[in-house]
Structure 1
């Protein structure tokens, strides 16, 4: 370049900012291990894991979208001094030898609530754990997926193209196994970085309480799960709702027996189509536009029987649009149903949100929204300023709030209750 030729500035027309180089792909440090599926292999795995040091990185792969069960079809582990291990839990009655070998070793999981149920079904339960996803939430990271945190904190890129495959496949292809092994490759390193950041942010105690609670995690039972049927809002009348319930339950029973995900028998759209038309014979059902799926014709008699049974049900036995529950109504209805409760919510909710924003927390981590609504809809009876804080704290603890959450939110809730009832024009409740 000649001396009198100046380089173009980035602001000049036509100049583009170069794309940043992508982070390098994460690679296995050790050769891909064999999959353990024999008693002898399990014994070797247990010996190696027990001889290792430090926490255990752990992950599990399920076959969501393919199988009815939520069982683990592959378990990945890595520990300092032991290396990476891949375990097929299917051939084993239980994994009690591994549970014994782990003792009180800390587990590292990402999104622990997803994996703890299927690990528990195999006899594996933690004494201590560290959840890297939850740690990221408490630290205010806007995106807490494993691949995102690994790239942001460790400068490596994870492949995720096999995340939705059918892990019940046997034998498992090598690329899938490599993907699975990589998921535990850097969990220990990621845990150490996040743990240091929690200490620096003054959130270590919060995290420890959350992690301790996860060790006893039990998934909540979903009452009236049929109400999650996609398109339910388009179904009219109680008998139509009853048809959705009957078809959903029939499909669920078939799916459980066949161990396939229910949508692979007939999709939700087929259920709502049949519920809207209420056909009572096979030809009418199969000729119905929108009724389709692999099991539409195969199980036609099952669907017709379900619809006929619903047609004969008394009105009182049919479901209503709104499920019967002890939960408070939707907040939008509070002003009409209980103006005083609405005023309490209007005062408390912004204060909780402000605290969350100030401390870089998702508001739902400061306090589960359902707990907040419940205690404000039906607060403790006392209005003694000295007794009410303890009563609110006790109520929150009954719901399942952690001590750190109670310490933050009980004063906010107490203030909202007392201030709302001091406003003119409303009677003060006893």
Structure 2
């Protein structure tokens, strides 16, 4: 463990003197802590060795960023770790994502342990993947596990890189890696409490107001304690209270469905939230405006044109994905296809489809692979709807 500024300076010097790409991984405490900060950052570089950094003890990661920021970083499922790495000032200029590479190569299972075993013949134990990495001191078996997560990343990158070249997918992978690296984070939800599991069962504004106030109270306490909200009171308990609308503190305490480690120890806090919801004047609407499309299963009855476009284009993209030897969602984001089918460009030619896909964020290689077949499918769909309408009349 690198847990002091002096040891950190020595580790930075070693990593700077190493050769080639840098294997990087990070461990969080998801499910235990509120924050998604990194509690351990692992790095490996040939000629340098393996280093496990404790971000809670390192005052400034800038020297490390300066030393290796210009090198290629190798991560597995990079989108999961980039945010917490950037939080401490570690932001790569280029990446190689071994999980994404495995997907593009059509490997049936893309977990790190599986890919390492298939390509390198090494079995990785994954027994500590869901551990509470905020624990201090970290047990030695956990540190060994964490080190193994990065020590083989460079060898894995070499194997996957060769296969990408052989499959003619090297340029495709480069575009995908760059897209992951520069993807904008999702903006925060306007009403994050609406993500409560099971809240769809609540219909009235009063029930929703109680759910909202309980969620806000739980979230504030979770932030204060830096603990995962569900470890205080689970979502199911909040929804149960909002459904039953207990009218007194005693009724709340007597509700068997109201569980969780803090459900009784902080009962006054939760009752204050329930009471606020029961007397709130600003009742939330059951539904809020959204740019989400109607579920495709409902298109056939009310939007047969869009349904025909989606069905035929989806099959064409599925067939193309099989030819490319990769999952269909990697060939083209399903939401991109749904949106183009729902509201095709006025110019539904190949160029019009290309422009529409580009506006949605599709990468150039994805557009090259799918624009023509989507345009062809739309033409066939229009003809099939016209034929069906003529036959019905």
TM range (shorter): over 0.9
Which residue does the alignment assign to 1:94?
A: 60
Match of 1:364 in 2: 329
Q: Which residue of 2 aligns with 1:164?
A: 130
Alignment of 1:336-375 (within 5 A): 336-375=301-340
Provide, for residues 340-363 of structure 1, a one-character-per-residue CA deviation record: whole Å limited to 9, x for no partner: 111111111111111112222111
Q: Distance in 1 between matches of 2:48 and 2:102?
A: 27
Deviations 1:392-412 (A, max 9, x none): 222212221111111112112
Which stretch of the first structure deviates more once superposed, 331-340 or 168-177? 331-340
Where does the alignment leave 5 or more consecutive residues of structure 1 unmatched? 1-34
1:271 matched residue in structure 2: 238
| 1:37-91 deviation per Cα after TM superposition (whole angstroms, max 9, x unaligned) | 2221121111111111110001011011110000001111110110111111112
Matches within 5 A, 1:321-336: 322-336=287-301
Residue 214 of structure 1, CA deviation: 1.8
CA distance in 1, matches of 2:235, 2:68: 43
Out of 2, 24, 43, the residue aligned to residue 58 of structure 1 is: 24
1:116/1:217 contact within 8 Å kept? no
Deviations 1:138-179 (A, max 9, x none): 111111101111111111111111111111111111111111
- In 2, the alpha carbon distance for the partners of 1:296 and 1:202 equals 57
| DSSP 3-state at the match of 1:124 | coil
Is 1:305 the equivalent of 2:272? yes
How big is the alpha-carbon RMSD for the aligned residues of Structure 1 and Structure 2? 1.8
TM superposition shift of 1:256? 1.1
For the 8 Å contact 2:205–2:283, the answer to whether it is kept is no
Looking at structure 2, the residues matched to 391 and 382 of structure 1 have their Cα atoms a distance apart, in angstroms, of 5
Q: What's the CA shift for 1:231? A: 2.8
1:413 and 2:374 matched: yes
- Tell me if the contact between 1:236 and 1:276 (Cα under 8 Å) persists in the aligned partners: no
CA distance, structure 2, for counterparts of residue 390 and residue 264 of structure 1:
52
Residues 412 and 93 of structure 1: is their aligned pair in 2 closer, same or farther, counting only changes over 3 Å?
A: farther
Larger Rg: 1
Bigger drift between 180-189 and 212-221 goes to: 212-221
* 2:182 maps to which of 189, 212, 216: 216
**Deviation by residue 1:274-317 (Cα, 9 ceiling, x = unmatched):** 01101132111010011011221233233223323333345x84
Supply the distance in 2 between the matched residues of 1:243 and 1:410 (Cα, whole angstroms).
48
Question: What TM-score, normalized to structure 1?
Answer: 0.86
Aligned twin of 1:8: none
| Residue 400, structure 1, aligned to residue 361, structure 2 | yes
Greater share of residues in helix = 2
Q: Which residue of 2 aligns with 1:379?
A: 344
Q: For 2:123 and 2:198, locate their aligned partners in 1 and report how far apart those are by CA, in whole Å.
A: 38
Gaps of 5+ in 2: none
How many residues in Structure 1 have an aligned counterpart in Structure 2?
387
Q: Which residue of 1 aligns with 2:197?
A: 230
Residues 316 and 374, structure 2, Cα contact 8 Å, conserved in 1:
no
1:85 aligns with 2:85: no
- Determine the C-alpha separation between the residues in 1 that align with 2:60 and 2:6: 14
